[in-house]
Chains A and B, each alone.
Chain A
Amino acid sequence: MDRHPHPESREAVSREETTLRVPFLLDVEYRYAVGQYGRRFFTELRDHARLMGVRCPECERVYVPPRPVCGICYHELHEWVEVGPEGTIVGWTVVRIPFIDPMTGEQRPVPYGFAIIRLDGAATSLYHFLDETDERKIRVGQRVRAVFREKREGSLRDILHFRLLEE
Chain B
Amino acid sequence: MRRVAILGAAQTRFEACKASLAYNELVYGVVREVLDRTGVPMREIESMVTASQDAYDGKTISGMAINEVVGAYLKSEAKVAADGLQALLYGVARILSGEFDLTLVVAHCKESEGDPAAITGLMFDPFVQRPLHLDELTAAALQARRYCRKKGLAPEDVALVSVKAHRQALKNPYAQRAGMFSVSDVLASPLLADPIHELEAAPRSDGACALLLASEARARAHTDRPVFIIGIGNCTDAYWTERDLAEARALQEAARRAYAMAGIREPAREIHVAEISARYAHEELMAIEALGLHPNLVELIAQERAACINPSGGPLCGNPPTVSGLLRAIEAYAQLSGEAGARQIEGARTALAHGAGGICGQNQTVVILQRE
Residues on A lying within 8 angstroms of B by beta carbon are 22, 24, 26-39, 67-72, 74, 76
Complex-state Cα separation, A32 to B114, whole angstroms:
8
Complex-state Cα separation, A53 to B115, whole angstroms:
32
Of residues 33 through 78 on chain B, the ones whose CB sits less than 8 Å from some CB of chain A are: 41-43, 55, 58, 67-69, 71, 73
Contact with A along B97-115 (1 / 0, CB 8 A): 0000000000000101111
B132 within 8 A of A: no
- In the complex formed, the residue of A with least CB distance to B121 is A26
B119 within 8 A of A: yes
B130 within 8 A of A: yes
- Tally of chain B residues near chain A (CB < 8 A): 32
Of residues 1 through 34 on chain B, the ones whose CB sits less than 8 Å from some CB of chain A are: 18-25, 28, 32
Q: A67-B68, A71-B68 are contacts. A33–B115 as well, Cβ < 8 Å?
A: no
Complex-state Cα separation, A74 to B40, whole angstroms:
13
Point out the residues of chain B lying under 8 angstroms from A72, CB to CB: 73
Complex-state Cα separation, A72 to B43, whole angstroms:
9
Query: Does the CB pair A22–B18 fall under 8 Å?
Result: no
- In the complex formed, the residue of A with least CB distance to B117 is A28
Give chain B nearest CB distance to A15 CB in angstroms. Answer: 18
Query: Does the CB pair A33–B69 fall under 8 Å?
Result: no
Complex-state Cα separation, A27 to B117, whole angstroms:
11
Pick the residue among A26, A33, A35 that contacts B122 (CB under 8 A): A26
B126 within 8 A of A: yes
Complex-state Cα separation, A127 to B57, whole angstroms:
22
Give chain B nearest CB distance to A40 CB in angstroms. Answer: 12
Query: Does the CB pair B68–A37 fall under 8 Å?
Result: no
Q: A28-B58, A28-B118, A74-B71 are contacts. A35–B25 as well, Cβ < 8 Å?
A: yes
Residues on B lying within 8 angstroms of A by beta carbon are 18-25, 28, 32, 41-43, 55, 58, 67-69, 71, 73, 110, 112-115, 118-119, 122, 126-127, 130-131
Complex-state Cα separation, A32 to B22, whole angstroms:
7
Complex-state Cα separation, A165 to B314, whole angstroms:
60
Complex-state Cα separation, A76 to B32, whole angstroms:
9
Query: Does the CB pair B73–A33 fall under 8 Å?
Result: no
Point out the residues of chain A lying under 8 angstroms from B20, CB to CB: 33, 35-36, 39
- In the complex formed, the residue of A with least CB distance to B116 is A28
Complex-state Cα separation, A26 to B124, whole angstroms:
13
Complex-state Cα separation, A74 to B28, whole angstroms:
10
Query: Does the CB pair A36–B21 fall under 8 Å?
Result: yes
Complex-state Cα separation, A119 to B32, whole angstroms:
30
Give chain B nearest CB distance to A29 CB in angstroms. Answer: 7
Query: Does the CB pair B24–A67 fall under 8 Å?
Result: yes
Pick the residue among B19, B112, B114, B126 that contacts A28 (CB under 8 A): B114
Among A28, A38, A39, the most chain B Cβ lie within 10 Å of the Cβ of A28
Q: A24-B130, A27-B118, A71-B67 are contacts. A35–B22 as well, Cβ < 8 Å?
A: yes
Pick the residue among B22, B28, B127 that contacts A34 (CB under 8 A): B22
Point out the residues of chain A lying under 8 angstroms from B131, CB to CB: 22
Complex-state Cα separation, A79 to B198, whole angstroms:
45
Give chain B nearest CB distance to A113 CB in angstroms. Answer: 26
Point out the residues of chain B lying under 8 angstroms from A36, CB to CB: 20-22, 25
Give chain A nearest CB distance to B33 CB in angstroms. Answer: 13
Complex-state Cα separation, A32 to B119, whole angstroms:
15
Query: Does the CB pair A68–B24 fall under 8 Å?
Result: yes
Complex-state Cα separation, A147 to B4, whole angstroms:
55
Give chain B nearest CB distance to A89 CB in angstroms. Answer: 25
Give chain B nearest CB distance to A148 CB in angstroms. Answer: 24
Additional pairs, 6, CB under 8 Å, beyond known A22-B131, A33-B20: A28-B118, A29-B114, A35-B20, A38-B22, A67-B68, A74-B71
